[in-house]
């Protein structure tokens, strides 16, 4: 065998050794990556199980609240616009045949604890003054709470009326409005 053939054989053996070494490094790296992926999968599954447990706990805790809001959804669906709210209150006063001394309506930003309410951003505040029978006024307030359950009574002030059995009532009603 001459030198050229020997060099070719050595070159081929060197290339074969380099190829085998590259393949073993590649297999080792792939195995390491697979082990890392398996460990990461186990960690992600553990985190997923923990998150599912938290979700289940939150659902259990908020079940009553969700049921409560589901009962109120139809009432929030009938929230009116300003003109309809004003007209509705005025018509109910007329239907009750109550002596209305004054009424004032204003549209305001709806706040809860001095913070804006993003779900119901505006409301109508109706300031009304009546001078009539105590029973008639209480029945009217009860009827208003029944037909407009989203209404909030902001203030009620009672004082002596103009006649012996009459009472003067100053009341502030607040109704949420559509956007």
User: Does residue 51 register a pLDDT over 90?
Assistant: yes
Q: In which residue are the tokens 């204003």 written?
A: 106
Hey, what are 20's tokens? 């085998």
| Angle CA 174–104–126, to nearest 5 | 10
Q: What is the pLDDT of residues 103-159, one digit of tens each?
A: 899 888 877 777 777 767 788 889 999 988 888 888 888 898 888 888 888 888 888
The answer to whether the pTM exceeds 0.95 is: no
For residue 132, report the phi and psi dihedrals to the nearest 5 degrees.
Answer: -160, -170
What is the rounded distance in angstroms from the CA atom of residue 20 to the CA atom of residue 172?
89
- Provide the pLDDT for residue 56: 92
Distance, in Å, from the CA atom of 165 to the CA atom of 150, rounded to the nearest integer, reads 31
Q: What is the DSSP letter of 119?
A: S
């Amino acid at each position: 065998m001459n030198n050229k053939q020997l060099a070719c054989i050595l070159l081929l053996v060197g290339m074969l050794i380099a190829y085998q070494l590259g393949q073993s490094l590649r297999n080792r790296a792939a195995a390491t990556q697979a082990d890392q992926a398996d460990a990461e999968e186990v960690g992600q599954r553990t985190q997923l199980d923990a998150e599912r447990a938290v979700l289940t706990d939150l659902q259990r805790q908020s079940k009553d609240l969700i049921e409560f809001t589901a009962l109120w959804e139809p009432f929030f669906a009938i929230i009116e616009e300003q003109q309809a709210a004003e007209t509705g209150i005025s018509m109910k006063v007329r239907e009750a045949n109550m002596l209305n001394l004054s009424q004032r309506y204003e549209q305001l930003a709806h706040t809860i604890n001095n913070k804006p309410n993003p779900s119901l951003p505006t409301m109508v505040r109706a300031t009304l003054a009546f001078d009539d029978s105590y029973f008639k006024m209480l029945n009217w307030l009860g009827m208003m709470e029944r037909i407009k359950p989203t209404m909030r009574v902001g203030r009620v002030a009672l004082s002596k009326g103009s006649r012996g059995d009459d009472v003067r009532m100053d009341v502030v009603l607040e109704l949420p409005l559509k956007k």
